[in-house]
Chains A and B, each alone.
Chain A
């Protein structure tokens, strides 16, 4: 894992010291809110419905046990004993007091963390495949380039006042677990005909009020050209992106209004210049970063105990069926820890749970943890012989739910329970859906299904790319939930189709139940997942199930 250099350490400490005096001056009245707001946003501090909110960056979703314990400490010392993991692999604290925030940032700096550029019109936390460095299907660990991008983008003088925020995601696998096609820049590692690794560069993806799937601007970019090429893209966007209308300021609009060809020409021209300026220092830096991401020393041990435990313990077997993924090392597994026990708030972890996760990672997981954009926690390197112990440890902390990728593994933004921008609540809907399908005991029969819920059009809950997406709106002073179907955030990314009029908070869960009952009726067999069925049959049968009155009228 990357550890801070003296430069990083000094930079982060200086920012904390600056912010401490800024907070003091705000509290004593020397700074107005208009003066203070851009300063607090630069340091990840928002003001929400009931309190301030501090968004802490977890670069490319990677943590060690020490950092996780520090997040637990912050939750306990400065918050109400929990934190919320987000769809951008960050953690948010919902209840900090203004005067405490500099101390929180200081405590983060103690473990090489910060909240810089988690807000504002800058390049945000770079996200990555949460299985990076562990996945069996990976070309290379994408985190060294993610770290390179983090260093390049942090306090980059040209990119502190972009037209709008800018999000970069990177994956080293052909399976896209980082939603690269819904980012301002998506980087997918591929090989060229000579077998060399490089990137397919995707630009102009994004969700929000105008959802768009990103377009390929470069089929193959040699790895060594990554920084100058990204700098060219962001530079072109910085000049061309609209500043007259906030809703048209993201690069997806710049690309769609100007056309991909024009953007590509401008980027290539700028790239040709920049490439000469990047005379190799970035590649030297990348080499030193890469050494810090060398894989752990995987050990060998018998897996007989694991197999025996699996055979004897149905709950453990069920968990291994849903919560494990193939690891690159023989006899290892990637463990996805669900934060979504039925009825729990998606993405929330208590300080106690964070400590359990840290302990398990330290003892059984080569000291590594990841946060996924699906708001779960990953132990990327666990030897199968340790899985029974890991499972029991998780189960005792209410973290042993066997529901990864199933109907209750729901993404939900904080919604109007916390967020000042929200138009409706998300969390209670997620809780009700999870509890309903737990009661029905249908979850495992339904199989792979991604439900994603956003509490406003900004789509932090990724509803557009949910197999079933739910968007909470305010319709004449009442919460109303719109359904989209057929969305997909993977390498086959698709924006979901709106099913029809929205539902009230009381009617949305029964509506979801009708959708799923329809799917169970019309799927060819249990191997045909919801999304496949949807792609085969289209919207019509689901629409009929959602709006039976309308169907009855049509038949009459």
Chain B
């Protein structure tokens, strides 16, 4: 039996500045992961991935990645994705200081 589908979000990097972005339910790309659409159905997730890949003039390198629901919206499961929501740990640069 195949494993149950783990919820996912769609993420990518912005074409112009490379910043991490997440796909929202209304087809926009947000710099805040909490705005992302949490994809709990595998078929829907694959469909959204095709949509994201087609957005090559806006974002680069779209991929599906595990996420969890929280009161504030989707949150990362893996530490790599958590870093992408914050920025580097050696300077106050990136999202952790961006409004």
- Nearest-neighbor residue (CB-CB) of A414 within chain B: B88
- Known: A33-B61, A477-B77. Is A427-B18 also a contact (CB below 8 A)? no
- Known: A33-B56, A417-B83. Is A345-B16 also a contact (CB below 8 A)? no
Q: How far is the CA of A425 from the CA of B89 in the complex (A)?
A: 9
- Nearest-neighbor residue (CB-CB) of A426 within chain B: B90
Give the residue of A52, A97, A416 whose beta carbon is less than 8 angstroms from that of B83: A416
- Known: A95-B93, A345-B90. Is A51-B18 also a contact (CB below 8 A)? yes
- Known: A50-B87, A345-B90, A428-B89. Is A477-B18 also a contact (CB below 8 A)? no
In the bound complex, residues from chain A placing their C-beta under 8 Å from that of B87 are: 50
- Nearest-neighbor residue (CB-CB) of B77 within chain A: A477
Pair B18/A98 contact, Cβ less than 8 Å: yes
Pair B18/A48 contact, Cβ less than 8 Å: yes
In the bound complex, residues from chain B placing their C-beta under 8 Å from that of A416 are: 79-80, 83
Q: How far is the CA of A473 from the CA of B25 in the complex (A)?
A: 34
In the bound complex, residues from chain A placing their C-beta under 8 Å from that of B79 are: 416, 474, 477-479
User: CB-CB contacts of A84-96 with B at 8 A, as 1s and 0s?
Assistant: 0000000000110
Q: How far is the CA of A98 from the CA of B17 in the complex (A)?
A: 6
For the complex formed, measure the closest distance between the CB of B15 and the CB atoms of chain A, giving whole angstroms. 7
For the complex formed, measure the closest distance between the CB of A340 and the CB atoms of chain B, giving whole angstroms. 13
Give the residue of A27, A95, A425 whose beta carbon is less than 8 angstroms from that of B15: A27
Pair A47/B18 contact, Cβ less than 8 Å: yes
The answer to whether the Cβ of B20 comes within 8 Å of any Cβ in the partner chain is yes
Q: How far is the CA of A33 from the CA of B20 in the complex (A)?
A: 16
Q: List 19 A-B contacts (CB under 8 A).
A: A29-B56, A29-B57, A33-B60, A47-B13, A49-B80, A50-B19, A50-B94, A51-B94, A52-B18, A98-B17, A99-B16, A417-B83, A417-B89, A425-B89, A428-B89, A428-B90, A431-B90, A474-B80, A477-B77
B interface residue numbers (CB < 8 A to A)? 13, 15-20, 56-57, 60-61, 77-80, 83-84, 87-91, 93-95
The 7 closest A-B pairs by CB, nearest first: A417-B88, A29-B57, A51-B18, A52-B18, A427-B90, A345-B90, A50-B94
